[in-house]
Amino acid sequence: MSTSPLSNPVSHHAGCEIAKFTNCKCHCRGVLHQRCILEAAVNSSYPSDAAFCAELTKLFGYQFTQLSSTPSKQLATRRSWSSSALSARQKTQVEQRIVDVTLHDLLEITHSLHTTGKRGWLNLLNDLTDKSYQSLKTGMPSHGSSNSSDGHFWASILAMVSAAFPTSGSLSSLNNSTHQHVLSRLNLSFGSSYPCYPYSLICFPRGRSGRNLKQIPAMTSQSLVNDAIDAVLNAWRSSNNIRSAGDKMFVLCLTGAAVSADLWRHPSAVNHLLKRAVELARNRYAASFSLDGTSGNVEDIIDIYLGNEWQSTDVKSNGVHLGHPWV
């Protein structure tokens, strides 16, 4: 990567911050995942938008404009693609293309925005990543206990905050909120065998049972979840130099979408971070997206191809039906 990253936090593996793949197992629990590319986008640090787009293509693949077109050898893809794949694999390829291309678009859009309109964004990003990691790392389980599911932890925390304040009118309440308020707004508790559901769930859109449904281990720690939510709220309150709450929420959602280890397996992050970032970018910055087309905007495409599948997932834990995760 051609941009200089922020200083590497003590006791953190720098590879997570420049992660190119979806199986990261870093012990930061996703707090610092892909931080370098986020910083480059917010700081507009590449010499041109075209140069940054080329870097994003290395990470996320080409900005395809069609859902199911077979890529030529000249067009990079983040994940494998087979034109002769069976039906289930074809659906997987389309779903993965949607999240990868859309995240690519969001980062490129952010880089293209004039830096004067992004005053304070880098400080908020740093507070949501490095500063939060420093405040939480002692309460995190040991490095050896981390797995790829834990790489979704921080994005789930950010998704919870976004979901608890879903409208522009509700954002003013964030300044005086605590983790108790967030959990109460979402009607979440730690009294079940699947605490913080559905934000603690990892499953691909057509995952229905068994090994296809996984829990984020770090989400079972009440103290860690509480502290993590408070870290996000502290970052929000410290970002008073950002001109509007809508811009703050965009930075929060962009950060959350990028730090998720794999959006394709992360329903709460797609619903409350990726999709909301798209809506905010479209409404606030007049952005358009590669997959916008005659069948609808990319928000509609996310709902149809991913949301509808996740709505068909009825999770059951210890005989109790928890319902689908697309809420």
- Could you report the per-residue pLDDT of 101-119, keeping only the tens digit for each? 999 999 999 999 999 999 9
pLDDT value for 16: 60
Q: Is residue 109 assigned to a domain?
A: no
The answer to whether the Cα torsion of 295, 56, 77, 251 is positive or negative is negative
pLDDT value for 66: 93
As a whole number of angstroms, the distance between CA 254 and CA 5 comes to: 18
Q: Is residue 166 assigned to a domain?
A: yes
Q: Is residue 295 assigned to a domain?
A: yes
Q: Give the structural domain span for 270.
A: 21-31+116-323
User: Which of these ranges, 1-10, 14-23, 67-76, has the smallest mean pLDDT?
Assistant: 1-10
Q: How many domains does the chain have?
A: 1
Judge whether 273 and 152 are in contact, CB under 8 Å.
no
Q: Is residue 210 assigned to a domain?
A: yes
Mean pLDDT score, 216-223 = 92
Residue 15: how many other CB atoms lie within 10 Å: 10
Over its C-alpha atoms, the chain yields an Rg (Å, rounded) of: 18
Residue 74: how many other CB atoms lie within 10 Å: 6
User: Torsions phi, psi of 299, nearest 5?
Assistant: -60, -40
User: Torsions phi, psi of 290, nearest 5?
Assistant: -55, -40
As a whole number of angstroms, the distance between CA 241 and CA 20 comes to: 32
Best CA proximity match to 95, nearest among 76, 79, 107, 110: 79
pLDDT value for 144: 44
Which residue stretches of the chain are H helix?
35-43, 49-60, 87-112, 121-126, 132-136, 153-164, 179-185, 222-237, 245-259, 267-269, 275-285, 298-302, 308-310
pLDDT value for 124: 98
Burial class (CB in 10 A: 0-12, 13-18, 19+), 8: middle
Q: Which residue has the tokens 């494998």?
A: 80
Q: Is residue 53 assigned to a domain?
A: no
Percent of the residues in the chain that have a pLDDT greater than 90, as a whole number: 69
CB hemisphere CA count around 280 (13 angstroms): 23
Which stretch of DSSP H or E encloses residue 317? strand 315-317
Position 8 pLDDT exceeds 80: no
Q: Is residue 290 assigned to a domain?
A: yes
Position 226 pLDDT exceeds 90: yes
- For the chain, the average pLDDT equals 88
Q: Is residue 87 assigned to a domain?
A: no
As a whole number of angstroms, the distance between CA 59 and CA 41 comes to: 13
Judge if the upstream peptide bond of residue 325 is cis by omega within 30 degrees of 0.
Answer: no
With bands split at pLDDT 50, 70 and 90, how would you rate the model's confidence at 77?
Answer: confident
* Residue 320 Cα to chain centre, angstroms: 28
Dihedral, CA atoms, 193, 199, 203, 204, nearest 10 degrees?
Answer: 160
Position 31 pLDDT exceeds 80: yes
Judge whether 295 and 301 are in contact, CB under 8 Å.
yes
Best CA proximity match to 154, nearest among 73, 96, 235: 235
pLDDT value for 65: 94
Please tell me whether the overall predicted TM-score, pTM, comes out greater than 0.95 for this model: no
